[in-house]
């Protein structure tokens, strides 16, 4: 069975009887968001959020997804006050169904319940953003490096793309129940691995917003004024693919004003998405009640987006 893992980009070959998978495949991704903030090594905090992202192909250009088992670990310290605390709790992430619509360059739009909070919407966008390639690779098959404009959570920015091919190593996994193939780069992963590196040119963006994980540090969780007192210094995305694995991660470095004392914090944000399993779905594809459409851009919510 050939399953569309990421529309227009990645497919999976699963050696199963299609009749036994009458509801189609379901993909499980592990998603993680880790953020650390430090102020002159005196005051700081660490936040780590994990969840499962489960997706199913709705048609040739869309995935139907939801989050499961979200957890959040937070620790803070303040050497000036002698404070050191740790907290483990469920993160208030939305577990409702949503849909991701793709075009030839990546994520085109997201369909969510209209009543979703801005905080939850932006967190979903941060994860979904890792499924977006950002360029039509079919037009760049013979180019190892190129520049293209990409729509992402922080705006439409010029991006330097670099595609690296590596030969297969002897230790490559052989126990995976599926085999992956990149549609725009046929047979590349069967011979080894492919890394797609994207370095965003932050000074060459339209609709730019200085966004960090979950409006981190902002008092108003539902504020659409994201990026207050934030300066993004670098955003680098790397996507690694073999015939047995898919992993994407974003590293963001920033400076943020975080407290009433106007201290500046150095922030490192790491968000990752890793394919864990492809299994048979257990029931019919669920729908979305009271749906609305929004682009991947963080500062546009459902009400402001075009239907």
Residue with token string 């922080």: 154
Q: Which two tokens stand for residue 226?
A: 């994201």
Mean pLDDT on 176-203:
92
**Span 2-294 CATH architecture:** Roll (2.30)
pLDDT recorded at residue 307: 45
pLDDT band of 225, cuts 50, 70, 90: low
pLDDT of residue 187: 83
Beta strands at 291-294 and 106-113: parallel, antiparallel or unpaired: antiparallel
The DSSP-derived string for 174-196 is ---S-EEEESSSTTTGGGEEEEE
Q: Does 46 have pLDDT greater than 60?
A: yes
The Cβ-side half-sphere exposure at 203, using a 13 Å CA radius, reads 1
Any idea where the domains of the chain sit in the sequence?
Answer: 2-294
pLDDT score, position 171: 47
CB-based contact 244:266 (threshold 8 Å): no
Which residue pairs from 88-94 have beta carbons closer than 8 angstroms and sit at least 24 positions apart in sequence?
A: 91/49, 91/51, 92/120, 93/49, 93/51, 93/67, 93/120, 93/123, 94/67, 94/120, 94/121, 94/124
> Per residue in 87-116, pLDDT tens?
555 556 788 999 999 999 999 999 999 999
pLDDT on residue 224: 46
The pLDDT value given to residue 16? 81
User: Is 154 or 18 the better-scoring residue by pLDDT?
Assistant: 154
Numbers of helices and strands, H then E, in the chain: 1, 16
The model's pLDDT over 113-154, given as tens digits with 9 standing for 90+, comes to: 999 988 889 889 999 999 999 999 999 888 999 999 999 999
Q: For residue range 228-238, list pLDDT tens digits in order.
A: 688 999 999 99
């Amino acid at each position: 069975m050939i399953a569309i893992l990421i529309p227009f980009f990645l497919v999976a070959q699963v050696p199963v009887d299609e009749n036994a998978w009458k509801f189609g495949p379901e993909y499980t991704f592990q998603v993680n968001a880790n953020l650390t903030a430090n102020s002159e090594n005196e005051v700081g905090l660490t936040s780590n959020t994990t969840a499962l992202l489960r997706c199913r192909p709705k048609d040739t250009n869309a995935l139907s997804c939801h989050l499961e088992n979200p957890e959040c670990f937070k620790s803070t310290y303040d050497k000036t006050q002698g404070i050191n605390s740790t907290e483990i709790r469920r993160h208030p992430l939305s577990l409702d169904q949503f849909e991701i619509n793709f075009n030839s360059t990546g994520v085109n739009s997201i369909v969510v319940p209209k009543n979703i909070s801005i905080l939850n919407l932006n967190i979903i966008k941060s994860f979904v953003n890792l499924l977006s390639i950002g360029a039509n690779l079919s037009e760049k098959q013979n180019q190892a490096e190129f520049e293209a404009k990409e729509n992402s959570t922080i705006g439409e920015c010029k991006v330097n793309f670099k595609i690296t091919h590596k030969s297969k190593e002897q230790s490559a996994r052989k126990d995976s129940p599926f085999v992956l193939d990149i549609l725009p780069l046929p047979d590349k992963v069967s011979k080894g691995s492919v890394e797609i590196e994207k370095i965003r040119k932050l000074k060459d963006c339209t609709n730019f917003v200085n966004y960090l994980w979950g409006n981190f540090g902002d008092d108003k969780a539902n504020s659409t004024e994201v990026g207050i007192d934030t300066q993004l210094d670098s955003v680098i995305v790397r996507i690694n693919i073999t015939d047995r694995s898919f992993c994407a991660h974003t590293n963001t470095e920033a400076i943020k004003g975080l407290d009433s004392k106007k201290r500046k914090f150095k922030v490192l944000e790491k968000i990752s998405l890793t394919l864990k399993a492809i299994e048979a779905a257990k029931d019919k594809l669920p729908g979305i009640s009271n749906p609305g459409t929004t682009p991947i851009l963080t500062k546009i919510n459902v009400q402001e987006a075009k239907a």
